[in-house]
Structures are given as structure tokens and as C-alpha cells.
Structure 1
Amino acid sequence: MTSLRRRLLLWLLPATFLAGVLASAGTYWGSLDELNDLLNDQMRVIARQAQVDDDGKLSLAGRDGKKHVSKGDEADRVLLQVWRGQAIQFTTDPASPLPAPLHPGFADIIADGQTWHTFVSQSGDTLIRVAQARQARWEALAAIAVHLFWPVLSLLPLLALFLWFGIGYGLRPLRQIASGLARRNASNMERIDTAALPGEVKPLVEALNDLLLRLDRSFTMQKHFIADAAHELRTPIMGLSIQAQLLLRASSAAERESIQTQIQTGTTRLAHLAEQLLTLARLAPETEGASVSIVDLSALARSVVTDRARIAEANQIDLGLVSTETVTVEGSGDNLRILLNNLVDNAIRYAGPRASVDVVVRRNGETAVLEVSDNGPGIPEADRSRVWERFYRSSAHTASGSGLGLSIVKRIAEQHRATVSLDAGPDSKGLTVRLCFYLPPSQQ
């Protein structure tokens, strides 16, 4: 399992270590010039304090004015020499291989494979040289670098410990959220309180609250759907059971034929109801959306009218298509076919014998319009707001139906971001179901 704490630690520790190294390096390079200037100043002071008497003895003047004689056999990291012409008069290191100085001032001399940093001051015909090996300077700088780097390295374990517990403390709200979510179930979709949460965690919790709200709605709709479906299926199943019992008790062929006809009708109705329920479940908001493509509404309407022509003829319905141009929209061809099939089937079922049903496809500015109109009894205005509900059937209609057709139409319209409305049919008779699809910019 990937640990967020371990991942943060693996990022923060190297970053902190690198920052400490960079800070040490910056301090080192910044102090390098200061140290060079300091050592150069020391060399000037030593050269100025050195004095040579007539006997060739070297003495150094202290702050108290007294002269301190340096023994010629003493060796130090700072080399002091006195030259007259090409002859050396005094040196603190007789084994040093430095040649005679040529002029006063600072200079770097390579002797016997070693670089010396020198300063020469002149007093009459006497040249006093102060020299220091470059290697000695670099050793001093290396010692400074170690002193700068060692605190960073030694504090790394302590820093890791603080980061480990600090990250754990910072991640405590996530553990509290996880504990709260573990107590949730289908019956408890209470929101998570965000008042005391850090600002960085609030977007995550708000997204979780939104998810909980959508799940609560989905579960509620599912419960209602199951309850309504069970109620609607109970009646036709009970009717089939009763008809089957009556068929066993039938005393004549005519009675048996009548009961068989009723069983066939009930079976057809039950199959239609089951198909509508499955379609509605497949179109639920939480289910995965269908693939989107360019759909020719005119061709789709022509195909649906052709398929429903025989059913319309059997019900003495004049079914026709009114389309003068090709109109295309973006959407799911399969779902739009289900939508139009339901509209046409409803119109055929409820319009009544010798009625006419027209399917209209047209363009209206920036929208594509799909209409299904009939001149039947229509739907009273008082019921038009409720017919979108599942299993609702208007009391004005005597034809049998599942009450799911318009619910399916509305669900598919919502998936296609289309508006759907109910109006009176031609000559203020019957019903017109109108859907308006917004055209993409390329088709406007």
C-alpha cells in the first residue's frame, strides 16, 4: 500500500537536505573572499612589522613597542623571508624552494610543484616576503566547509523525526474523514461537516458531500422505482394467475378461447411493462451515458413512421411524416429512436380510431425541433405537469398503458440537453409533444 506520509517524507527530507547543502555552499563561497582578504591582510601586517637590523637579525614589533626576535630554525605555515638583492638574509624555513622576489606586492609562485601565495614589501634595498602555501589555504577552507555542513547532516535524523510526526498530525483530518465515511450506509448519507477542516482538505470533502448527495438521490429514486414497479407488476401478474385458474375450470370451448385471449392480452401488457421498466432503468442518471454521434432526425423519423405504419393502420390511425429538410443533432441514435417510438406509440394508443398523427422535423433558428401531434382527446392542462411522473395515467384516458412512456421521453431529453413541452394539437385539439435540440455551432 502506498503511504502518503512516506511519500511526503521521501520528498521533504531530500529537499531539506539539499536546501541545507545549498545554504552551506552559499555561506562557504561567500566567506571565501572574506577569508582571502583576511589572510592577505595578515600577510601585510606581518610584512610591515618585520624589521631587519644592521647585523641581519629579524625582529617583529608588537603592539607594546617591544621587539620579538624570531629564531631562524622555527617553521610555520606562514613563511617569512628577508632578501637583499639575490641573497637571502633570513627565512623561517631554510628548506623552502622559493626563488628571490622580483618586485613588491602580491604574487603567486609555483615552486617544486607547489603554489605559494606571496606578499613582498620593500624597505630600501631589503625585500621582506611573507608566503603561504595555497594548499594550506584550501585546507583551512575545507575545515570551514566541514564545520558548515556538519550541523546540517547531524540535524537530519531529528528533522526526519519531526517531519514524520508533523505529517501524521497534518493528515489527522483525513483519518477523521475516513472514520466518518465508514459509518455511512445507504440509509445514512449525512454530509461531512467542513467547518473545522483545513482549507486544503475542504475541496475533497465538498466533492465527497456532493457525491453523498447524488448517491442519496439515486438510492431514493431506486427505492421509489422498485416500489412502483412492484405495485405495477402485481396487478397484471395476479390477473394472469386468476385467468390461468379460470382456464382450468372452463366448461366450454368458447369460454376457454375467451380466457386464452385475455391471457394473451395480459401477457402482452406485462411484456410491454417489463420492457418499459428495463428501458427506464437503463436510462437512470447514474448509469453510464450512451455513445454520442451525429444523428439525422429526418431519417430517424422516417424509419420510425415506417416501422409503426402497420400498427397505426390496425388502430385506424393516419400516421404521417412532415419533413422538408435534413436536420441533424448530436446524440445517441438508439436512445432517440426509443424516445420517438414512445411518442408515436402513445399517440397511436390514446388518439383513438380515425385520428391522425403527424411527426414533424424542422429547423427553427439555432434549434432543431421534433414534434409528434395528434387530434385525439389530448391531455387536460391540469394533468400535463404530472404525466411526466412514472406510472401516472390521466383519468381522461381509457386505453391501457404502463404510464412510463413520457417518463422515458423526459429522461432521454434531459440526456440530450433538449427542452420538452406539451401543447394543444392542431386546431386546439389533441396533443403536441415538442422537443427542441440546440444545434452545435457548426450547424447553426
Structure 2
Amino acid sequence: MKSVRSQLLMGLIVGLGLMSILAGYGIFQSAREEANELFDYELRSVAISLPQSVADAKLANSNSGEFEGLQDDRVVIQIWDEAGNLTYHSPPGVELPRQDAGFQSIEIGERHYRVFGLQQPSRFVQLGQPTFVRDELALKLASRTLWPLLAILPLEIALVLFVVKRALRPVNTLSKSLAARSSETLTAIEKDKDLPIEVQPLVESLNQLLVRLDNTLRVQRVFVADAAHELRTPLTALKLQIQAARQHEGPVYDGVLLRKMEERVNRAIHLVQQLLALAREDTEASAREGKVDIQEVASRVIGDLSVLAEQKGIDLGLDCENASQGGGAVPVSGDEASLTTLVTNLIDNAIRYTEPGGRVDVLLAKQGDEVCLEVIDNGPGIPPDDLGRVLDRFYRASNSTGQGSGLGLAIAAKIAAKHRAGFTLLNRTDRTGLRVIVTGLRAA
């Protein structure tokens, strides 16, 4: 795992080192240019100021004092006469080939020389100097500047360590604060005024995550509490019926009791299915996008619930002529599983609350780029005072027969909201019954 502190320190220290190296190289090159200019000037000056007497071979081989300072083994002095004869050579043992007039750079063996040639009326003067002399001077000049830079490098590193540690202190404080939190502490993280601007978006994202997590946990707690409350009643009744079966005998009584027990079990199963559907819809903030044939979904659900409708003698039908061409597909955008749950809950709810021999109609209609789903029954409807509350979880209308769980409409409304669709409950005006209208399903 990479540490931000280590990366910052490594980057800054390596950067300082590279900058020091580049600065040293630049200083050395600058000093070398100055040394070259200085020594070129000296070579030219010496060549011009050489006395004419140097051309006398006798003087050339003498130790006359007038050559004092010129006979440096690091400066090669050569003089040729008009005939091209070498008349002076100092120091002995070092010979440089004659070059053209002006400055030249040559290489003799493993040594490099800087050579200056001067053509005079009666002679040609050539001075050569090994380049290491210039490098020595350049290094000496550069070291005067480099040593102070190298001396303060440890101070710069120490300053970098201090600045990085100080800059990361709010981050370390935030880390310790989060580590000290318990698993139940989901309150927002307080923003320290010293917190770096770069870290503030992270804190904001964490706070948003904590809010979502808190909402999720709250929903789960409510779900568990509601599930325990709603399951307690049918399971308690089932337990009492089992105890009664142990105390009584007789096929007639046993048959009646078994039917009641089956009803209790079916109700518990239905309640568990509704609770699971509610939990699934609560955990998903928005519907997953996909192409769903809502006509095919409605037909499939009607087929699944037709047995329940037949048991009560209810006429259950689907009308989608206004939504498709010739009864074909009616594609909408949404999540197929959620839309199936929505249609199932609406039709199941209508069948449960419609009296035997009644009628339930499922209508699909296309309105521009949107599809409308409507489920109409001729049951008792919903009292006006209860219309505003029947979408609450586990709420049953005052005229309810107690067959439902109080979750069907709440789940359907939540699914519609996730699909950004409208959800409306209306009592029928032509007779008793309820109209449930889902508008705004986007056609795909």
C-alpha cells in the first residue's frame, strides 16, 4: 500500500537532488565558459607580447630571464620562421602540429589542447594549452558556489519533512477521528478549518455516504420491526390452531381446521413475499434501465393470477388496443422485475378486494412517448378519508376485510416513483370500485 507521505517525501527529496545536480552542472558549464574566455584572452595576449628575440635560436635554448613566466609546462609555445622552420619550442618533449591562425581545438594522444596561432610578418607563433587546466579552474570557480548549495541541502530536506508532516496533520487527525468512531456512529464528519481543500471533497463524499448508509440501516430496522410485527399475528394464530388440533378429534373438525391453517400459511407466505419485495425496492435508489414489454408482463401476471380470479368468479381481462398496433408489444424503459412486481400487486390487490362475481380490467394506453397502465375493479373502493394514507406501509383501509398485508399499494407506488412515473388512486364515479393509474412510463 502506497503512502501519500512517503510519495511526497520521495518526490520532493528526489526533486531537490535532481535540481541540485542540474544547478551544479549549469554552474560548472558557466564557470567553464568564463575559464575558456579568460584563458583564450591570455593565450592571445601572450602570443602578441612575445618578444622578437625569441626567434633567435640561441636565446631559445638559453635560460634568459625574459622568458620567465612563459616557460610553463602547461603552455606549449612554438615559433616558426618564414621558411617554416621551428625556431622555438617550449617546453621540450611536447610537440603540437602547426595549425591555422586563430583558435583551434585539437587532440594529441589522450590529451586535448586549445591552440591559438598568430601570423606575424617574420614568423608564425602558436601557443597551446591542455584543456584540463581550464577544467580545473572551472571546477574551482564552481565549487565556490556549489559548496553553499550542498551545505544547505540537509536543511532543505529537513524543511521538506517538516512541511509535509505539517500539511498532512489534518489528514492524520481525520484518520484518527474516523478510527475512533463506533460502528453505530453515522453522524456527519465535522470539517476542520485546517483541512486541506483537496481533502474536503473526500469528507463531503464520506458524509453523503454516511447519510445513505444511515438511511439504509434505518430502513432495515423499520423492515425488521414491521416484519416481526406483521408475522407475529398469523404465526400466533397458526400456533393456536395447532394446539386446538391436538385437543380435538374428528374428521369434520380436522378438515375445517386444516383449511384455516392453510389460509394462515398462505397469508404468511404472501406477507413474506411482500416484505421481500419491499426490502428489494428500498435498497435500490433508482430503476435499472432496460427494454420491457409491459403488455407481455401484464399478460403473464394475469395468467399467473387467473386461478385466484376463477376461484372468486371474477372476470379478469386485458385491453391494450390503444397502446399497440394490432395487440403487439408495448415496450417501455425500466426494470422488468420491478415492473412485474408492480403489475402483480395492483392486480392481486384488485382481486383480493373485489367481491365474488366482480370484474377487474387491466388497461394499457399510449400517450405520446409515454405509456399509461390502469387497473380498474368494482370492489368497495377506498373511503375518502383513507385515500391519503393507504400508501403508508401496513395501513389497511377502514373497510378492509383483513385479507391483505397493507403493503401492495405501498410497494407499487414506490416502484412507480423509481421509474419517475405518476401513481394515482381514484374511486370510480359510475359505481363502487377503485381505479389505480400509473402514468408516465417511458416508451422504449
The equivalent of 1:391 in structure 2 is: 394
Q: With structure 2 as the length reference, what TM-score do the two structures score?
A: 0.83
Distance 1:157 1:352, change over 3 A: farther
Q: How does 1:268-417 map to 2 (within 5 A)?
A: 268-285=266-283, 293-324=290-321, 325=324, 326-417=329-420
Unaligned runs of 5+ in 2: none
> Pick from 424, 432, 435: which aligns with 2:438?
435
Structure 2 SS opposite 1:434: strand
After TM superposition, give the deviation of residue 339 of structure 1 in Å: 1.8
* CA-to-aligned-CA distance 1:264-306 (integer Å, 9 cap, x gap): 222221221122122222333269x897542211111111112
Change (3 A) 1:19 1:278: same
Are 1:359 and 1:370, in contact at CA under 8 Å, matched by a contact in 2? yes
Runs of 5+ in structure 1 lacking a partner?
59-67
Q: How does 1:157-176 map to 2 (within 5 A)?
A: 160-176=157-173
Aligned equivalent of 1:8: 8
In structure 2, the CA distance between the partners of 1:12 and 1:414, relative to structure 1 (3 Å rule), is farther
Tell me the residue number matched to 1:188.
185
Counterparts of 1:13-32 in structure 2, within 5 Å, are 13-32=13-32
How far is the alpha carbon of 1:83 from its aligned partner? 3.9
Is the 2:28–2:139 contact (alpha carbons within 8 Å) kept by the matching residues of 1?
Answer: no
SS in 1 for 2:282: coil
Overall identity of the aligned pairs, in %? 36
Q: Is the 8 A contact 1:101 1:127 kept in 2?
A: no
SS at match of 1:198: coil
- The correspondence for 2:257, drawn from 249, 256, 259, is 259
- Going from structure 1 to structure 2, the CA distance change for 1:109 and 1:222 (only over 3 Å counts) comes to closer
CA separation in 1, counterparts of 2:223 and 2:282?
10
Contact 1:72 1:91 in 2 (8 A): no
Alpha-carbon distance in structure 1 between the residues aligned to 2:415 and 2:66: 109
Q: Report the residue type matching 1:70 in the other structure.
A: F
Instruction: Give the Cα separation in 2 of the matches to 1:27 and 1:427.
Output: 99
Contact 1:72 1:92 in 2 (8 A): no
Deviation at 1:372, TM superposition (A): 1.8
Please give the root-mean-square deviation of Cα atoms over the aligned residues, in Å. 3.5
- Structure 2 CA distance for partners of 1:223 and 1:117, relative to 1, 3 Å: same
Asked if residue 41 in structure 1 is aligned to residue 41 in structure 2, the reply is: yes
Report deviation, 1:42.
2.7
- Report the AA paired with residue 20 of structure 1: S
3-state DSSP class of the match of 1:106? strand
Secondary structure, aligned partner of 1:398: coil
Q: Which residue of 1 aligns with 2:236?
A: 238
| Aligned partners of 2:55 and 2:88 also within 8 Å | no
Q: Tell me the CA shift for residue 146 of structure 1.
A: 7.4
Structure 1, 71-80 or 386-395: larger mean CA deviation: 71-80
TM-score by length of 1: 0.83
Asked if 1:130 corresponds to 2:120, the answer is no
* Further displaced range: 72-81 or 349-358: 72-81
Structure 1 window deviating more from structure 2 (349-358 vs 111-120): it is: 111-120
Q: Distance in 2 between matches of 1:15 and 1:30?
A: 22
- Pairwise CA distance, 1:402: 0.8
Deviation at 1:142, TM superposition (A): 6.3
Name the SS of the counterpart of 2:424 in structure 1.
Answer: strand
Q: Which amino acid aligns with 1:105?
A: G
Residues in 1 aligned to 2:213 and 2:54: alpha-carbon distance in whole angstroms: 106
